[in-house]
């Protein structure tokens, strides 16, 4: 029965995308949590909706449009924040709302039937195509390469930015690179859990990992494994009960976080 279940291409694609998304969440999610960039990531995710709508309007792959919009939005927020005294949260709110508004406008202008945007907003891992898997794989390799290749620079940038400047490290370049990598991660996650739920998958696994260790490498590894566990389990449950996959993965992750947090506190009480 299980073997027959995996004979379907869309099921294979779903599990591969869940695995890739979990690895990305473990790596980039850890940095997002440590650098307090959760709101920034949410703004970039919602801004990408404008690109998805533009993709439908122009007749190109919507994810490509989403990638372009998310990268441009993240770099724009970074540049405007540095060149003006505008609060980062204000800029994030502006790009967040403008991205969503543009997406709605572009979709309304698209000729023919109005496309169903549910899978982009809330995720539908079972609709991930083979082409999308290849796209996700390329982006995942790029993310892992840039994080692992200069890991010590990232570590210094995250925990002591001023000291990094003293050592002559170009912090601005690292920041811009990080925002681009966050944008790539968001594009990978859109089809898995959707724009609205992306933040949860980027933050919950690292939050669980931090309950067990403060070592950055270990947090990334543990959060990646936790992400795989929740994503695959959520996918199986959603297929079994015919319920939305993205929502199932997020709810399972949230339950897992609260369960681990409570268990951790009870264990500490018993020890002390």
Token duo for residue 90 = 């204000």
CA proximity to 220, closest of 18, 20, 27: 27
Q: What is the pLDDT of residues 220-254, one digit of tens each?
A: 999 999 999 998 898 888 888 888 888 888 899 99
Q: What is the pLDDT of residues 24-36, one digit of tens each?
A: 888 999 999 888 8
| pLDDT on residue 229 | 92
Residue with tokens 């949410």: 42
Q: How many residues does the chain have?
A: 272
Whether the pLDDT of residue 201 is over 90: the answer is no
CA separation for the pair 70, 248 (Å, rounded)? 25
Q: How many of the other CB atoms lie within 10 Å of CB of 29?
A: 30
| pLDDT on residue 161 | 80
Range of the domain at 119: 2-271
CA separation for the pair 254, 87 (Å, rounded)? 30
Residue with tokens 């505008």: 86
Q: How many domains does the chain have?
A: 1
In this structure, what CATH number is given to the domain that contains residue 60?
Answer: 1.10.3470.10
Q: How many of the other CB atoms lie within 10 Å of CB of 236?
A: 16
CA proximity to 173, closest of 54, 267, 82, 272: 82
Structural contact between residues 198 and 41, judged by C-beta atoms closer than 8 angstroms:
yes
Mean pLDDT of 85-101: 84
CA proximity to 119, closest of 223, 191, 66: 191
């Amino acid at each position: 029965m299980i073997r027959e279940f995996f004979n379907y291409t869309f099921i294979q694609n779903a599990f591969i995308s869940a695995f890739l998304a979990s690895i990305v969440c473990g790596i980039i999610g850890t940095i997002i949590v440590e650098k307090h960039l959760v709101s920034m990531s949410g703004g970039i995710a919602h801004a990408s909706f404008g690109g998805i709508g533009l993709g439908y309007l122009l007749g190109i792959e919507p994810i490509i449009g989403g990638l372009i919009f998310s990268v441009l939005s993240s770099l724009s927020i970074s540049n405007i924040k540095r060149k003006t005294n505008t609060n980062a949260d204000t800029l994030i709110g502006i790009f967040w709302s403008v991205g969503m508004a543009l997406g709605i406008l572009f979709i309304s202008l698209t000729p023919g039937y109005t496309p169903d945007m549910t899978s982009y907003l809330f995720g539908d891992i079972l609709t991930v195509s083979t082409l999308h898997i290849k796209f996700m794989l390329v982006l995942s390799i790029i993310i892992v390469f840039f994080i692992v290749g200069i890991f010590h620079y990232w570590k210094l940038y995250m925990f002591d930015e001023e000291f990094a400047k003293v050592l002559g490290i170009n912090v601005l370049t690292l920041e811009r690179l990080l925002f681009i990598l966050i944008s790539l991660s968001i594009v990978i996650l859109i089809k898995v859990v959707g724009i609205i739920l992306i933040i949860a998958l980027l933050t919950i696994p690292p939050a669980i990992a931090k309950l067990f260790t403060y070592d950055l490498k270990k947090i990334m590894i543990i959060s990646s494994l936790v992400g795989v566990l929740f994503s695959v389990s959520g996918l199986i449950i959603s297929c079994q009960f015919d319920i939305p996959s993205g929502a199932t993965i997020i709810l399972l992750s949230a339950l897992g976080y609260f369960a681990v947090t409570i268990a951790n506190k009870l264990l500490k009480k018993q020890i002390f």
